[in-house]
Amino acid sequence: MPKLSLKSIRKWLFNGKKHESKAILPCSPPVPTGIPILSLSCFSQLEILRNLDFFELVQLSLLSAKSRAVVKSILPKSHKIMTINFGRSSNTISVSTNQHIYMGSYEHVDQVLDLFDYPETVLSIGTDRKLNTITEFIEKYKDCVRLIYFTTPVFYPDLVELVNSVKGLEFSMIIEVHGEFSFICTEFEIQINNPHPFFIPHIWRLNFSIVKINDVNLSFLNFADWIYGRFPSGELKQLIVGLEFPEDLDIMMSDAGVTVNNEEWEHPVYGPIDKSYRIRRADNTKEAILFEYCDDFHEMVVMEIESCVHRSLIF
């Protein structure tokens, strides 16, 4: 019988058929160079699989449930983080761990994640990529995705849709946008750090109960968008804005013709409030109270929203 080489093994594995060699004797039948790898001893399987690269291991794991179990058994379980890079094409990805790299079809992403028992995952995304595929991926694998990083700027309405898809997590997920600003998302709350001014008007479309924005110029947050219903009222119940310029609220409310309430009242969380404003949506579905609050480090504006039919705002 001819000597089996790694090349012949690979050809047999991935072409799905056996290759015949030249006959040893004139009357002898053809001898297959392929081998039934899963019929070999565990030691022999291990020796063969150790000589395959990760791409070949993934291909082998796709052949059957048994082959997947064999490949999975030889991979190290020490991978804590996996990075998935979504390429420009809608059906290609590259996957990297601290020891392995795979480049192939997106349709095999579930098998790759399964081989490593769905580790903590980082997504790296470029703008040429349509976000509907990313959103579907996050909704399916949100239990293992921990960080989403956009390598280039992104269309903000699409970004809002993607951010809304991660609501309901039992852990925090970070979304970074081209090194400009970031989101920290939890079950009902989202924190936005250093948002781009052009993104701020889109916060009314976020379907989180609590939205916190750090260090922003309040003039970019157009309360008229909320008052006149330019966006759906959504699920927002509390908006907390860390101010870049503390006098912004007075100026904005004055320009909008909103009357100040100077009667002091006690907030159950923020304590005595000596000045506040009340605004109502034009469709009479929601109303909100706005006031300034200062802790030891930041000046903030707090907006608390309730349905008009369940109004319990204090004035």
3-state secondary structure 14-69: HHCCCCECCCCCCCCCCCECCCCHHHCCHHHHHHHHCCCCHHHHHHHHCCCHHHHH
pLDDT band at 210; cut points 50, 70, 90: very high
Task: Give residue for tokens 């007075």.
Answer: 250
Whole-angstrom Cα distance, residue 5 to residue 42? 18
Cα–Cα separations (whole angstroms), residue 59 to 78, 93, 110, 174, 190: 22, 15, 13, 32, 40
Q: Using an 8 Å Cβ cutoff, are 60 and 79 in contact?
A: no
3-state secondary structure of 125: strand
Burial class of residue 67 in the structure, from the number of CB atoms within 10 Å of its CB (0-12 exposed, 13-18 middle, 19+ buried): middle
* pTM of structure: 0.73
Residue 297 has pLDDT above 80, yes or no: no
Q: Which residue has the higher pLDDT, 10 or 253?
A: 253
Residue 310 has pLDDT above 60, yes or no: no
The CATH number assigned to the domain with range 76-187 reads 3.30.420
Domain assignments of the chain as residue spans, ordered by start: 1-74, 76-187, 199-315
Average pLDDT over the chain, rounded to an integer: 77
Residue 17 has pLDDT above 50, yes or no: no
Highest mean pLDDT among 4-8, 97-101, 202-206, 214-218: 202-206
Stretch 240-266: mean pLDDT, rounded? Answer: 79
Whole-angstrom Cα distance, residue 147 to residue 83? 9
Whole-angstrom Cα distance, residue 155 to residue 251? 31
The pairing of strands 120-125 and 181-185 is: unpaired
Residue 102 has pLDDT above 50, yes or no: yes
DSSP state of 193: E
Tell me what pLDDT residue 34 has: 52
Stretch 104-120: mean pLDDT, rounded? Answer: 86
Whole-angstrom Cα distance, residue 269 to residue 217? 24
Stretch 89-114: mean pLDDT, rounded? Answer: 82
